[in-house]
Structure formats: structure tokens, C-alpha cells
A and B are shown apart, each in its own frame.
Chain A
Amino acid sequence: MPAYDVLIIGAGLAGQRAALAAAKTGATVAILSKVHPVRSHSVAAAGGINAAINPLDDWRSHAYDTIKGSDFLGDQDAIEIMCREAPAEVMWLEHAGVTFHRNEKGEMDLRAFGGASTKRTAYVADITGQALLHVLYEQLMKYHEVIDRFEEWFVTSLIKSDEGECVGAVAREIRSGKMESFSAKSVILASGGAGQCFQPTTNALICTGDGIAQAYQAGAPLMDMEMIQYHPTTLAENGFLITEGARGEGAHLLNSEGERFMEKYAPNKMELASRDVVSRAEQTEILEGRGVGPDKQGIYLDITVVPRKRTLEALREIVNIGKDFAGVDITREPIIIQPGMHYIMGGVKTDINGATPLEGLYAAGEVACVSVHGGNRLGANSLLDTLIFGRRSGEHAAERALAMKMPTVSDDQLGKDREMIAEILARPKTGRRVSEIKHELGTTMNRYAAVYRDEAGLQSAHEIVRRLKEEAKTAYVDDKGAVFNQDVLGAIELDYMLDCSETIVMAALERKESRGAQFRTDFPERNDAEWLKHINVSRNGGDVPTLSYSEVTITDWQPEARTY
């Protein structure tokens, strides 16, 4: 059985950063991922990474913008850490080789982004996530002697000891079908978000909430699960992301009357208000009949106001996306967009060092909820979150590991997981197809747990999810083989998504107010007296989730009315 001081699950930015940080302490490290690391969804982050590196800027200003963006649900101690450590982290990335865009003086250039009070976003054209992910992978290749990589290994369970600590994971090598237990002193979950619970979504097909569900099944609490970010600019055609960088460079949003309608909703920040505010404004325009496009379900994003040379140099990827996926030259005509599911603010509850309440288990990145994003994440804060808390959890997990001896791990869980897979393979063709259930789940969530929510809709979503959970137990697969059986993995992913969806809907039902990304038409106001608190969901051994609350940490910034 492979044994490591630190076992990292997921190899996007958070996982890779954690691996590098843990290895630096001298700990033995393995990083395990169901896809090759550069295929991780961090690759799709476009716009940039926030850090107060301009000498005229201040990390406190970044912190305040983040807190206001979170609609005061973010934990301020964690936000302070993230914003204070951001400049050094970005310089570390630069020294590691990230080709950040420069200004005329040769210094790092900064672009404007939503919800920020100044230009604070460092970037590489509009492929920032890709540039960061590939540079971190360069570092993994550099340190290949001290970091073992298990690429295309799919985790089926976390392993718990008799004392209730997390001591490893069971995984399947996708290429061979071989199952293996990994023992570890500390385990870090860095396996990303759960966007595939929704359809459409900007998220990749791999974003199926694996880590969130694995931690939940192992008994760790989830937090802020109701907070689902709808990005204001996703391609109406197919849900692809159009970077906020476009609005950062000056692009306008227009309704069917050619109006820059953001004047009505956010007169100061206009198109660069927080994402929840812009998405809601767009949805309101659409609902009131001022949408554009064949079914009036879209909004125009007009990038032609940005100088063409600048667009070609700094927004090249969306020029290509416009051309290839919508047949539009964005430098010459507006493109039709709409709000689309993009990010989950919630996740596995952690402290400022990435430690979850389940001893031995850490989490970082989108899978985690520190909470630095609270009710709404600012654009270009997610890359920062993955790196800061990836590094911190790597350091702390290693520190913990170096002070203890290797736990003895039995193969009990391995046996159970083998049986679970054998059971899926043996299902008769009498049930529904996995893809069918997944599609119903996605459209249900996108209908009832979207920009606007209410009690009745969320109740129906809850009933449907409970029914789908039952149906998933008999969902059959065609592929019975061992080599690259993606079919059986799809069935396991479906279970992960159903767990995530259930907790999302339950938390959204519970929060009877409107804050950040959660807008309840039946409770349209923010209610600090009753709801300035996190909602936690945990399984506690049973199949039915139980809810509890935890306090929001407030340091210097008291809640205030939120206008842009």
C-alpha cells in the first residue's frame, strides 16, 4: 500500500500549490487526480488574479472589496490573510515563470475587474488560469523526484481510522481499473467545484463535486452550500464563459432598447459591480421583456467599444470563442450572453489553515469553504483563493504529518468500494441511463436554484433530487470493462452530484433572506439580525442531512448597506 505524509486529491491550482508547499517542508507527497493535471478546470479561469501589488493600493482595500462582495458573509480573518498574502504569492508565481502582462515600464500590468475599487488584477492575456496551471505543472515536473504524481486516478472514498481520523483514500487507476488504498498522515482535498449539478454551466464535465461529496460522506460539514454564483456573461448559445476581463477592458451591457441598463442598478460601478448584482440586473431585464436574441433570453455584450488592437492582444481567447462557438466577430459586433452557473462559494468547511473539522482532512480551492467568498465571490479572487489556501493547507498538513507516525490502514474500505463498483457493473438494463438522470438533475437545479429562488421552487427541486437519488441506485452502465471504464466512473460521479445538489437545495431553503448570490423572491431583503450566519450541512452518519449554524467572523468591517 502506498504511504505518504501528505496525500493530495486533485491537481488543479490548489492541489499543485499544496503539493509544492508540502514538499518544501521535506514531507513525502503524492498528488492524485482523475484527469491529467493540466486538464484540471483551473485552466479555464480567464481574467486574472487579484493582489494589491500597486504601491498606491493597500491589501485592506482589497479585503474591504472582498467583504462587501461577499455581502458580509465572508469570514474576515480569512479574507485578511488572503489579501495580505496576495502580493507575495503573485510575486512567487512571477518568479516561477508566469508570463504576466507588462506595462510600458516593464512592471506587471493590472486590469480592472468587477467589485474592485481600483485596478488590481494581474493577468496573462485572457488565459491567466491556463498560464498559472501550466507553470505550476512545470514546477511539478521540476520537483518530480519529491512529488509522486498519480495521474488519471479516480478517488472512490476517503478512509477513516477507528478513531475517526482521515488516514487515506481509496482510488481506482482509470487506465487499468486497479483499485488501491493509499495511506496518509494528512489528506488534502483539492478536487474543485460541483458545476455539473447545473445545466448549462460554464464548468467542465469533470466538475462533479467529488471532493465535496467524499468529505460529506466521511462526516465533514459543508458550509455556505446555498451560495451558487451565476456569472453575468456566459454565451447564450452554449453556456461558455466570456471573461469578466471584457467588461474590465470597458465592454458594455445593452438590453433590447440599446440601453446601458446597469445605470439603473449600479450607477457607480456600472458593468463592474459584483457578479451577483450584474447577473440579477440582467435577469430582471430579461424577465421584464427587454432581453435580446431569438427567444429574448439574452443580453448584448458590446466589446466593439474596446480598441480592436487591445482586444486582439488581451482578449484573444474570447475572440476565438466568439468566432468558433457563436460565429460572431466580437471586435465588430455585440455578442449575446446571459447569466450562467459558474462557481460554488460553499464547500467543505475549513479553518484559515485549510483544516476541516474532520481530523487529518484538509481542503483548499473551490472544494473548500474557508469562507473567503461568503455570499458572492469577486472575479479574480478564485485563483488567489486556490493558491493562498492551497499553500497554507500544504504547509499545515505537512507540519501535522511530520509530528506523527504513519497510521495503520486496513483494506476494509477498499473491499467495500470494490463491491460498490461490482454492484454498479451488475445492474440490469431496467433502470434509467446515468446521462438521463444527470440531465434531469442539471435542468432542475438551473430552474429552481438559479438567480431567483423561492420556497415552492426549492421544494420541488428537493423532491426531484430525492427521487433522482433513488433512481440513481439502479442506473445502469454499458461498459463492463476494466480499462478506462468512464461509464462506471460516470455513475459514481452522479452520486457525488446528487449529494451536492441535495445540500445546495436544503441550505437554500433554510436561508430565508436574500444575500449575495441567494435571492429569495419570497424574502427579498437581507436580514442581518437573523441570518448573518453560515449554514452548515452534515450527514452525521445518516442519509438525511442535518443543518446547523456557525458564526461569521467579523474583524474590522461591520455589515452595511451594499450598493455599487
Chain B
Amino acid sequence: MAEFKLKIRRYDPESGAAPYWDEHTVDLEPHRSVLEGILQARNEKDGSIGVRCSCRAAICGSCGVRVNGKPGLACHTHLDDALASAGEDGVIEVEPMGNMPIIKDLIVDMDAVHWKKIQRVTPWLIGKEPVPEREYIVSRESMIDVTQSMACIQCGACVSDCLSMEVDPLFVGPAALAKTYRFVGDPRDAAHEQRLKDLGEDKHGIYDCTHCFKCIEACPKGVAPMNQIMRLRRIAGNDFHIKDRNNGERHEMAFVNNIEKNGILHEADLLPDSYGGKFHPRAVPELIASLPIVVTALLRRKMTPGKALLHPHKAPDGVKRIFEVVEGREERTEFNLYISGTDADNAPNPEVAEAIEAAEPAGVAPDGSEGSSA
């Protein structure tokens, strides 16, 4: 047993008082969870501490909180890990999640934000017709693939720290878009194109994400919402050629072409290319509108006239080869948590596996292939 100091953010809506910190010392094994710490305080000291919780095993998704400023499940955060990320005073801080209104203590209003956004994405299967008598016949991989987004437990940790949502509260957001992939990736769904068109044309849809990776870090179940959003974009652009009015698809392509040409990002081209090129009628007003930013960039030496007009850097052969290989593939390879490992992993004997690990650098199997791949 060891003592841990927990500082819980309290708020009582009936008192009229502002939120405050409430410190408790709990006595638990270090590998026990922050939730168990909170419950010990509640059971033994103060029954009024408000926290939603149920399964204690990271499956029901009730106990989303922020521990030392990071979102996650209280039941899925060990006390010793939480102590390691605590401040110098060694006190573990537990706060309610962000981006959602607080009801009481650690309890936030998920209906007001999270569930509204889920309801926004038509969150049910629109099955292909005719409905078969038995099951739909679909590939094994396709079902394992959508299992990654199906693994979402709707805890709201990704929503809590979504930076895009902080700026644009109307952003559909990581959880609802991961839910969308669960249908767009499902071969039984008949509405892939409509779903993507809907969320591509929506100003707050798939192109509103800024790739900050916060949701991937936050997710306790490995759903990797941002990856699912990027897959929605790739399917929208590459497979359905949906040219949205937000210019999202062109902007994506501008990035890809820019890298293919320059090897590194040549920012001056990005804006005009996103609108069809420097001389495209649509690009002109955008370019004019961006002039203040260009001037600021020049003044702060983030950009020089030479860099802006010339292309000093050309893509090296390595980058070209990456494009050749990836674009030459018949099917797009996507990363997925559930489809992992190689046949070498089928070696059942742990001693053999350990011997292999000892002999080879981590993650590389004897045949030289990667230890885990898409």
C-alpha cells in the first residue's frame, strides 16, 4: 500500500459558489486506478463527490475525466502513472472533461455536446437492398477493420480535448466522425457516398479537423479517431471524387502534390493550389484576402520573396519512390489496430518468441518483415 494525494475539482451547482479544489489522501496499491482512489475518498470520507462510474474495467465509458490535465478514463489510469505525471507537489489532479458543460464535480453534460454530435451523423446502418435472408456476405478483413471504430465506448475523452472543437464548437468532432467511419467502412452500408458528401459539404465536417493528434492520444481504446477522419477524407476524395464547397478535397490534394514536387512543404503554393492554381478565378479573392498574412509572414521572416516565388527544394528520389510504390498499389493500405501481427507471430511457444526477440531488434521478425503492419 502507498499513500496518494488526490486533488479533485469540485463544483456544486446548488451552492452558488465557484468551483474549488478538494484534496484527499488515499491508501492503495500503486497499480490501482485513479477511479479506485476517488471511490475510496467517496466511500470513506465524503459521499458527496460526484463521478460517473460503473464497470471499473475500461469498457462502459462512464468515468471520462482529466488526470493532471490529460483526458482519459479514471479507471484506466494507474495511480503510480498518474503520480509520475503530477506536478512537483506530487498531487494528482482530477478534473472534469473539457468542451462539455459541467453538471456537478467530475460529471459533465455529454448530451449537450457528445451525443448531439453522434446523432448528427445518421448513426445507424442503412443496409444494402435486398436484405439477404441470412447474413450479408462480406470479407473477413472488412469486419475486423470496422471493429476498430466499433471499439469506441463513447467516453468523450477525444471530445474533451479536441482543439478544433475548442475553436469551432460546431465541429462534428472526433467521436462522431469515428462513428461515421464505422458505416463508411462497412460494406453492408448503402449510403457511403451520401454520408461523405453530407460531412464533406458541412463546414464543420470531415475537413474541419486540423490533424493535431490530440484525440489519438486521448482515446483509451485505440480507436484513433483522427485516423478514421483521414480515411473518410481519402475515401471521399480518391474513391468518390467528392469536390466539396469547403475546398477540403482540393486542399488535401494541394498538400499531396506539393510534397510530391518539392519533397518538403512549399507553403507559398499551398493556398493558390488549394483553389485551382495562382491564376484560377477562385484563387484570386482568396489570395487577396490572405495578403495581410503574407505581409506579416514576410515581416517576421517566416517567408522571403525568394522562397515564395522560387522552388529551391526538389523532391529527392526517395520521396518519388514512396509516391510510386504507394500509388502503384492496387488497394490502399490502411493502418488498423485489429489487423496486426504477421504469420511469424503464430509461433505459439513463448520461449521461441523470446529467443527471437532477443536475437533481433524489437519489432522485426526473422524474415526481415515488420513485426506489425497494416
Chain A residues near B (Cβ < 8 Å)? 35-36, 38-41, 43-44, 53, 91, 94-97, 99-109, 124-125, 127, 130-131, 134-135, 138-139, 141-142, 144, 151, 175, 204-206, 238, 240-241, 304-310, 312-313, 316-317, 320-321, 324-325, 327, 331-333, 433-436, 477-487, 490
Kindly state the interface size class of chain B when it binds its partner.
35 or more
Chain B residues contacting A312 (CB-CB under 8 Å) are 338, 340-341, 345
Query: Which secondary structure dominates chain B's binding surface?
Result: loop
B308 contacts A by Cβ under 8 Å:
no
List chain A residues, Cβ under 8 A from B266. none
Interface: B278 (CB within 8 A): no
Interface centre among B55, B144, B342 (most CB of A within 10 A): B55
Give Cα A241–Cα B58 distance, bound, in whole angstroms.
12
Which residues of chain A are near B346, meaning CB under 8 Å? 307-310
The CA of A305 and the CA of B353, in the complex, are separated in Å by 12
- A38/B61 contact (C-beta < 8 A), A99-B146, A309-B342 known: yes
Given contacts A131-B150, A313-B144, A483-B104, contact A138 B124 (CB under 8 A): yes
**B143 close to A97 (CB less than 8 A):** no
Closest-by-CB residue of A relative to B221 is A320
Whether B137 lies near A43 (C-beta < 8 A) is: no
A481 engages B54 (CB within 8 Å): no
| Pairwise interchain contact A106-B139, C-beta atoms closer than 8 A | yes
On whether the beta carbons of B47 and A477 are closer than 8 Å, the reply is: yes
Binding site for A on B (CB under 8 A): 12-14, 31, 42-44, 46-48, 50, 52-62, 76, 78, 103-105, 107, 110-111, 118-119, 123-125, 127, 131, 133-140, 142-144, 146-147, 150-154, 182-183, 186, 188, 337-343, 345-350, 353-354
Q: Considering only CB atoms, which chain B residue lies closest to A324 in the complex? A: B76
> Once the chains bind, are B124 and A127 in contact (CB under 8 Å)?
no
| B55 with A481: CB separation less than 8 A | no
- The complex places the Cα of A316 from the Cα of B31 at a distance, in Å, of 21
- Smallest CB–CB gap between B366 and chain A, Å? 14
CA distance A175 to B110 in the complex (A): 12
CA A151 to CA B118, docked complex, whole Å: 16
A102 touches B138 (CB 8 A): yes
**Residues of the B chain whose Cβ atoms lie less than 8 Å from the Cβ of A478:** 46-48
Contact in complex: A35, B62 (CB < 8 Å): yes
* Assembled-state Cα–Cα distance A546/B58 (Å): 41
Enumerate chain A residues within 8 angstroms of B144, measured Cβ to Cβ.
Answer: 101, 125, 313
Known: A309-B346, A317-B59. 14 other contacts (CB 8 A): A36-B62, A39-B60, A91-B134, A97-B127, A99-B143, A99-B147, A99-B186, A125-B144, A130-B153, A131-B150, A138-B124, A308-B347, A309-B345, A484-B103
- The reply to whether B143 and A94 form a contact with Cβ atoms under 8 Å apart is no
**15 contacting pairs across A/B (C-beta < 8 A):** A39-B54, A44-B55, A102-B140, A108-B135, A109-B140, A141-B119, A205-B55, A238-B56, A308-B347, A313-B144, A313-B339, A321-B57, A332-B354, A435-B47, A478-B46
Of B47, B147, B343, B354, the residue contacting A124 (CB under 8 A) is B147
In the complex, the chain B residue whose C-beta lies closest to that of A140 is B124
Please name the residue on chain A nearest to B53 by beta carbon: A205
Report Cα–Cα, A480/B142, bound state, in Å: 52
* Chain B hits for A435, CB < 8 A: 42-44, 47
Residue in B closest to A105 when the chains form the complex, CB atoms: B137
Given contacts A99-B146, A99-B186, A138-B123, contact A313 B338 (CB under 8 A): yes
Check A41/B354 contact, CB under 8 A, given A102-B139, A312-B340, A484-B104: no
A483 to B48, Cβ gap below 8 A?
no
Closest to B118 in A: A141
In the bound complex, CA of A462 to CA of B103 (Å): 41
- Min CB distance A207 to B, Å, is 9
**Are A206 and B341 in contact (CB-based, < 8 A)?**
no
